Structure 1
Amino acid sequence: MVEILGHHHISMLTKDAKLNKDFYVNKLGLRMYLKSVNQDDPSMYHLFYGDEVGTPGTSLTFFEIKPMGQTYKGTNSISRIGLLVPNEESLSYWKSRFEELGVDHDVIGIYNGMMALHFRDHEGLEMVLLPNDDRKVPKAWQNNRYTDVPKEHQIMGMGPVEFKIEDVSEMKNFLENDLNFELVDSESELLYSIDLDGLYSDIVLKEEKGKRERPGKGSVHHLALSVADEDELNKVKELLDEKEVVHSGIVDRDFFKSLYYRHSHILIEFATEGPGLPYNDVEQLGQQLDLPGFLEPRRAEIEGNLDPI
């Protein structure tokens, strides 16, 4: 059985890196801890936001694709991202902040039986803030000293991630029998977790018929699930090989190793917790363009093709 530790990161598409940075740093109070490029196409930025040092489970990442058009929402997609805040008082803080900063949001309501504040970024990406209260979170998660959001209300990390799928039966089987997720609730949607004491690994399955989503700006590219190390990643590879399904094989991303697999039209990445970012000075994270070793010889060319942000 593959051992999943929780969410690792989630990756989206944006049309404008500058506006993207403004929203996630200046409005949501996250740290841009890594500024890099798409390793498969270094002509585009890959921006990473999260806690102070980009701990797995806190990271929202974005690929900048300037010609990107509008998202046409539909099924077979990752449709909503949950973000955890400390408590219900934090929801009131964020509602006031959103009103002040002009962020599109709803009134405080309910999501999966919890108090919740739904909101959207400047490109229509659907998100929801949820109070973590006394539930468990990974010990490595940190606060961010580099924001004006008070420590007691900062976004902590990723919570439930919502999938819309035409037929959820195969995804249910994959989560339960291959990845050891447990069914938490089946009242309205199917809520799965690897840790019933926390929200940091939750996946929500919604069965929805209709047209498939056509991705564009503000759509989700993939969800990455966290595994401990390369040995555990090899277990994922062996599992998928036994099923005789197509996958990427193990890919070295420099900061971690990954394997990609598309299930029910949704791209899932499995990523190792380490080695993580090599850094000596926390204050300098995200200030310079970080490149993986194999792209370093092309630094001048790559930087010349990117607009400064």
Structure 2
Amino acid sequence: MNHVTAMASDPQQIFDFMSKMLGLHLIKKTVNQDALDTYHLYFTDDMGTAGTDMTFFTFPNQEKGKKGTNMISRASFRVPNDAALDYWIKRFDQFNVAHDPISDQFGDKIINFHDQDDQQFQLISDEHNTGVAGGTPWKHSDVPDEFAIVGLGPVTVTVYNLQHMDFVLTEIMGYSKLQEAGDFSLYEVGNGGHGAQVIVEHREDLPISVEGYGNIHHAAFNTEDRETLGTWIDRIRQYRLPQSGYIDRFYFKSDYFRAAPQILFELATAGPGFLQDETYDEAGIHLELPPFLEGKRAEIEKGLKPVDTDWHE
């Protein structure tokens, strides 16, 4: 994974949840470059490593999303071991976070939980995990390092047409199916492990989901550089899936494509990164804009709801 982007109802509430409760670093407070009245908040490990990014759009006046099939239904976070899950159960209870008991998923211990918008999340234990390395916990979090989140785990995609999603993952994107359990199938790519997995849930019995806050907007998969991204853009084009083509987001380069009905995937480069326009100590506190939007700063700031993200306080 590179990042997962969801939609939240309120920027202050999602900052408090992701940073103060989950202990993630708000590495960048900026705007959705396609909707300038909307924050784009990036929560990561200590240094903003690709593969640790859970990000949020806060579209004004957006209605709550509806769960169902044909949606990216759950993002997950990696924690170091099974003992960390016991810590998080206590922390969730302390912060009144709704959660399920510890359970098993494809041989790993997990906790499913959700936020104030009913956004569905999961903690997954790296106790038996190998493959893609995690990141480094945010050093200013009050979560002890031995229990802290180190990056993104598997993303779950719920679909009506399993055969199509299987084709996209295996034939186009190079994933391999590892296991099946009921309605769920586990896929893995590259070096493998929790940082390189997708879970597909096959559901024909649910209504079609409706986009809105509390739901995930898109999932982004990692590419090393612009050259590699270009190769993937050409590959997606060969399969005639709807796609955006090359987009320069300043902090990374990307291409978006429609993997299945209502399922938006992105291919994003690992760099150049989030600290090229501000220092580590100031990251996430002030509104940062890429150079091509700086001339519109006054107009943009006027249209945004103020949000206090100063973790020094």
User: TM-score, normalized by length of structure 1?
Assistant: 0.94
Asked if 1:35 corresponds to 2:29, the answer is: yes
Q: Aligned partners of 1:110 and 1:100: how far apart in 2?
A: 23
Q: Aligned partners of 2:107 and 2:203: how far apart in 1?
A: 20
Asked if 1:268 corresponds to 2:262, the answer is: no
What amino acid sits opposite 1:160 in the alignment? P
Runs of at least 5 residues in structure 1 that lack an aligned partner in the other structure: 1-6
What amino acid sits opposite 1:243 in the alignment? Y
Q: Is the contact made by 1:43 and 1:306 (CA closer than 8 Å) also made in structure 2?
A: yes
Q: Percent identity?
A: 32
* Aligned positions of 1:225-244 closer than 5 A: 225-244=221-240
Asked if 1:198 corresponds to 2:196, the answer is: no
Asked if 1:245 corresponds to 2:229, the answer is: no
* Cα shift readout 1:261-282 (whole Å, capped 9, x = no counterpart): 0121200000011111205631
What amino acid sits opposite 1:282 in the alignment? Y
Match of 2:78 in 1: 84
* Cα shift readout 1:176-218 (whole Å, capped 9, x = no counterpart): 1221111110233210011465110110111101321012221
* Aligned positions of 1:1-309 closer than 5 A: 7-136=1-130, 138-139=132-133, 141-188=135-182, 189-195=184-190, 197-209=192-204, 210-265=206-261, 266-277=263-274, 278-279=276-277, 281-309=279-307
Q: Aligned partners of 1:59 and 1:10: how far apart in 2?
A: 7
SS in 2 for 1:56: coil
Q: Is the contact made by 1:51 and 1:141 (CA closer than 8 Å) also made in structure 2?
A: yes
* Cα shift readout 1:24-77 (whole Å, capped 9, x = no counterpart): 111111111100001011111111101012111101110002312222110000
SS in 2 for 1:66: coil
SS in 2 for 1:49: strand
* Cα shift readout 1:131-186 (whole Å, capped 9, x = no counterpart): 11252354572221111000111111111111111011111112112211111102
Q: Aligned partners of 1:70 and 1:80: how far apart in 2?
A: 16
Query: Bigger CA drift: 297-306 or 116-125?
Result: 297-306
SS in 2 for 1:84: strand
Q: Aligned partners of 1:50 and 1:162: how far apart in 2?
A: 19
* Cα shift readout 1:273-307 (whole Å, capped 9, x = no counterpart): 11112056311111111101110011122112222
Q: Aligned partners of 2:299 and 2:260: how far apart in 1?
A: 38
Q: RMSD of aligned C-alpha atoms?
A: 1.5
Q: Aligned partners of 2:61 and 2:26: how far apart in 1?
A: 23
Runs of at least 5 residues in structure 2 that lack an aligned partner in the other structure: 308-313
Q: Aligned partners of 1:240 and 1:267: how far apart in 2?
A: 13
